[in-house]
A = this chain, B = another copy of it.
Amino acid sequence: MHVTIDQAQKIINAARKEAEKTKTKMCIAVVDSGASLKAFHRMDDAWVGSIDIAIKKAKTAVFFGMPTGAIGQLSQPGGPLFGIEHSNDGLITFPGGLPIVDDEGVLVGAIGVSGSSVENDHKVAAAGVKVCGVSDLPEHPWRT
């Protein structure tokens, strides 16, 4: 199951509204459950460097069905996943990427946000997810 384009647009609109509330300029990406880009939105004056980061955050969140920040805690020096960022053409493992899980607990996609502090990026991503589902997956393995 994949997030639909109508859902992706609602997600982006909600995220953008939150970005405006926090006075930030964000790149917002939505990918489907296969990690393929569904929709993307770059606000005027957002950092050009955030395009790739937003997309990579969304992909990373769907690759492993967890918030990007959770992976980042495991990929620190000495941690069990140190260096995982080298896989999959480059992961981004700090906050701002969240899985999108529907009412039945199915991972349908993910959102990635970049353009401000990681706290703001996360907040904007969470506002996007909320309109279409939650970010908590049932115990892995889950259905896709």
Contact = CB atoms under 8 A, between A and B. Distances in A.
Tell me the number of copies of this protein: 4
A126 interface: no
A34 B45 CA distance: 12
B35 A48 contact: yes
Contact of A72 (B43, B51, B82): B82
Given A78-B76, A85-B86, A141-B25, A34 B5 contact: no
Q: For this complex, into which size category does the number of interface residues on chain A fall? A: 35 or more
Contact of A40 (B39, B80, B94): B39
Interface of A is mostly: loop
Contacts of A87: 49, 52-53, 56, 90, 92
A34 B48 contact: yes
Contact of A86 (B41, B45, B64, B86): B86
Identify the interface centre among A41, A49, A52, A93: most chain B CB within 10 Å of its CB. Answer: A49
Given A76-B77, A76-B78, A83-B92, A141 B51 contact: no
Interface of A: 2, 4-5, 25, 32-53, 56, 60, 62-65, 72, 75-78, 80-95, 117-118, 140-144
Closest 5 CB pairs of A and B: A34-B34, A49-B63, A45-B141, A40-B40, A86-B90
